[in-house]
């Protein structure tokens, strides 16, 4: 059987020798317990890494804090040049890295490549931004005074990322943090540690070629206990964390207790509203990709479809027909649409969700189930399922990280659909399918969607890096990636300069000596 070029990809990324070893960066070594990374694609062991101990963490932090002293004094456009070189290396290694993402995480090879493309895009964005870290000037109330504000680097930025975007989310954070003058310490998901090693190898080479300290980019490995080393550490002024709402609440509390900053990208419960004026063909493509792409494991995956009763059966039938065409199997084989879930725990959660929706009164319209037999040996392949449900069901209110789509019906005005769409605890991504201008504008208005992302005539997933990415309510409120998301990686300083020989006080206060 072909290995789809996996061994070659691992070699190109310098990840292969890890079958024996324990590297978590080319400069330092971890000494903790071993994490074995098994592929959900075929259940095989890909490699091992050692987790970061408290002592290792101190080594990393010493490297990071000392690197910050060099890095922050380099002009931002020169830091941009380093990020440009990193983007170039990613272009060269796009295929092997996309392949590793696909093999270690389980998303389709196309989506693996797409993820590396997001990394390249954010590098390009950051390079341009490195000449645009603009502050403001304002007029002082005092004569002969100048007042302005500027942005300075923060320090060490801690990044905790999730398995579902094992490389891109790190790049969204680091590319911006680096041009802002920060250094980064990254804890990738313990489910995708080798993607972390591959990325570290790439940036370490760029830093070495430029005679810069590797501490500018550091890697630590392990589960939440290793993450806690950063969340409790005063030397880490900003912790950017992507993952479950449960995890985010713990991070926010721990970082908040020491008055640090946290940037949270947590769960979504994303819906598409389908109005009577929707283009059904576009709706089906958007909904199916949103629900089954990445096997339903994106924060932006479509979990709910809110369909007007006048077109409900038509949309439902079109969806059932489309689901009938889906090919489930090895994600490296480009003939397949849906790959495996990340692990068998995720499969158990998927099964529990289907049981729960039935128990709560739901009606299954596309049957789920776990696949077995040839090609499905890892036990992680499941059938995408569709259930008719009520928005108030406990399970519908909950984010299940799997390809389970709930169909909800609305009657009357689009307001009723918007109410259902907003009627969950999460607030990440949302969409409306309509050719009716009034409905679209109402959805986008202040009385419309309460999510961080609101789309018209596209699905909920597949956001571009140019916009700020993130959501409200239990999604955590953070914004990453494009627009002015860079500001969170810097500290703002207001400066007032007196160029006279008098010292007038603000607010006209007199203080004569
Ligand atoms: C995530 O699911 O954690 O819009 C991020 C998207 C991707 C990012 C998703 N560009 O689906």
What pLDDT, in 10s, does the model give residues 416-446?
999 999 999 999 999 999 999 999 999 999 9
What pLDDT, in 10s, does the model give residues 298-348?
999 999 999 999 999 999 999 999 999 999 999 999 999 999 999 999 999
Note the pLDDT of residue 2: 72
Is the CB of residue 467 below 6 angstroms from any atom belonging to ligand 1?
no
pLDDT greater than 80 at residue 1: no
Note the pLDDT of residue 13: 94
Note the pLDDT of residue 299: 97
* Residue whose CB lies within 8 A of the most ligand 1 atoms, among 117, 248, 298, for a mutation test: 298
Average pLDDT rounded to a whole number, residues 463-467:
96
Per-residue exposure over 257-288, b if at least 16 CB sit within 10 Å of its own CB, e if not:
eeebbbbbbbbbbbbbbbbebbeeeebbebbb
Tokens of 197: 């090693």
Is the CB of residue 201 below 6 angstroms from any atom belonging to ligand 1?
no
Note the pLDDT of residue 3: 86
Note the pLDDT of residue 24: 41
Q: Which ligand 1 atom lies nearest to the CA of residue 297?
A: 2
Q: Which ligand 1 atom lies nearest to the CA of residue 268?
A: 2
Q: What percent of the chain has pLDDT over 90?
A: 94
Average pLDDT rounded to a whole number, residues 90-95:
98
CA 279 from centre of chain: 29
Distance (angstroms) between ligand 1 centre and the Cα of 229 equals 27
Distance (angstroms) between ligand 1 centre and the Cα of 209 equals 32
Binning pLDDT at 50, 70 and 90, where does residue 23 land? Answer: very low
The pTM of the full predicted model, rounded to 2 decimals, is 0.96
What pLDDT, in 10s, does the model give residues 182-221?
999 999 999 999 999 999 999 999 999 999 999 999 999 9
Please give the mean pLDDT across all residues of the chain: 95
Q: Which ligand 1 atom lies nearest to the CA of residue 298?
A: 2
Is the CB of residue 192 below 6 angstroms from any atom belonging to ligand 1?
no
Is the CB of residue 107 below 6 angstroms from any atom belonging to ligand 1?
no
Task: Look up the ipTM and state it.
Answer: 0.95
Note the pLDDT of residue 29: 62
Distance (angstroms) between ligand 1 centre and the Cα of 170 equals 12
Q: Which of 118, 265, 399, 439 is catalytic?
A: 265
CB burial class (10 A; 0-12, 13-18, 19+) of residue 334? exposed
C-alpha torsion sign, points 229, 232, 238, 240: positive
β-sheet bridge partners, residue 370: 382
**Residue 280 backbone dihedrals phi, psi, to 5 degrees:** -65, -40
Q: How far apart are the first and last CA of the chain?
A: 90
Q: What percent of the chain has pLDDT over 70?
A: 97
Note the pLDDT of residue 31: 84
Note the pLDDT of residue 15: 87
Is the CB of residue 297 below 6 angstroms from any atom belonging to ligand 1?
no
Q: Which ligand 1 atom lies nearest to the CA of residue 429?
A: 4
Distance (angstroms) between ligand 1 centre and the Cα of 422 equals 20
- Please check whether residue 357 is in contact with residue 406, taking contact to mean a CB–CB distance below 8 angstroms: yes
**What DSSP designation does 328 have?**
B
Average pLDDT rounded to a whole number, residues 484-489:
98
265 is catalytic: yes
pLDDT greater than 60 at residue 22: no
* Residue whose CB lies within 8 A of the most ligand 1 atoms, among 118, 165, 247, 430, for a mutation test: 165
Is the CB of residue 299 below 6 angstroms from any atom belonging to ligand 1?
yes
Is the CB of residue 308 below 6 angstroms from any atom belonging to ligand 1?
no
């Amino acid at each position: 059987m072909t290995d789809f070029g996996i061994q070659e990809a691992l070699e190109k990324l310098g990840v292969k020798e890890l079958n024996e070893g324990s590297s978590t960066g080319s400069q330092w070594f971890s000494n903790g317990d071993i994490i074995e990374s098994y592929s959900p694609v075929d259940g095989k062991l890909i490699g091992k890494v050692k987790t970061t101990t408290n002592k290792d963490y101190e080594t990393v932090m010493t490297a990071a804090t000392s690197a910050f002293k060099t890095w922050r004094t380099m002009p931002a456009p020169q830091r941009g040049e380093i990020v440009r070189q990193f983007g170039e290396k990613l272009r060269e290694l796009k295929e092997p890295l996309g392949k590793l993402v696909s093999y270690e995480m389980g998303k389709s090879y196309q989506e693996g490549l797409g993820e590396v493309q997001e990394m390249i895009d954010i590098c390009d964005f950051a390079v341009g931004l490195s000449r645009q870290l603009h502050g403001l000037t304002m007029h002082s109330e005092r004569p002969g005074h100048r007042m302005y504000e500027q942005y300075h680097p923060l320090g060490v930025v801690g990044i905790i990322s999730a398995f579902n975007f094992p490389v891109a989310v790190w790049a969204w954070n680091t590319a911006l943090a680096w041009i802002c003058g920060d250094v980064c310490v990254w804890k990738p998901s313990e489910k995708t540690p080798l993607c972390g090693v591959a990325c570290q190898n790439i940036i370490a080479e760029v830093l070495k070629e430029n005679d810069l300290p590797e501490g500018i980019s550091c890697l630590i490995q392990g589960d939440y206990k290793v993450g806690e080393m950063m969340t409790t550490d005063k030397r880490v002024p900003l912790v950017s964390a992507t993952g479950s709402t449960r995890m985010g609440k713990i991070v926010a509390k721990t970082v908040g207790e020491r008055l640090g900053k946290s940037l949270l990208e947590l769960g979504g419960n994303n819906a598409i509203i389908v109005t009577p004026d929707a283009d059904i063909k576009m709706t089906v493509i958007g909904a199916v990709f949103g629900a089954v792409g990445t096997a339903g494991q994106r924060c932006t995956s479509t979990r709910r479809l809110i369909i007007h009763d006048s077109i409900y059966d038509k949309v439902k039938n079109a969806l059932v027909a489309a689901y009938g065409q889906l090919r489930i199997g090895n994600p490296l084989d480009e003939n397949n649409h849906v790959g495996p879930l990340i692990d068998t725990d995720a499969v158990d959660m998927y099964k529990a969700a289907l049981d729960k929706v039935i128990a709560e009164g739901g009606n299954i319209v596309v049957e789920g189930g776990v696949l077995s037999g040839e090609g499905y040996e890892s036990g992680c392949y499941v059938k995408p399922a569709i259930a008719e449900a009520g928005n108030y069901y406990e399970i519908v209110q909950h984010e299940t990280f799997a390809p389970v789509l709930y169909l909800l019906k609305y009657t009357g005005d689009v307001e009723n659909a918007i109410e259902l769409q907003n009627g969950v605890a999460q607030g990440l991504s949302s969409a409306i399918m309509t050719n009716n201008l009034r409905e679209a504008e109402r959805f986008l208005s202040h009385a419309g969607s309460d999510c961080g992302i609101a789309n018209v005539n596209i699905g909920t997933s597949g956001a571009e890096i140019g916009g700020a990415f993130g959501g409200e309510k239990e999604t955590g409120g953070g914004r990453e990636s494009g627009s002015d998301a860079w500001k969170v990686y810097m500290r703002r300083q207001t400066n007032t300069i007196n160029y006279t020989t008098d010292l007038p006080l603000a607010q006209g206060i007199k203080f004569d000596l």
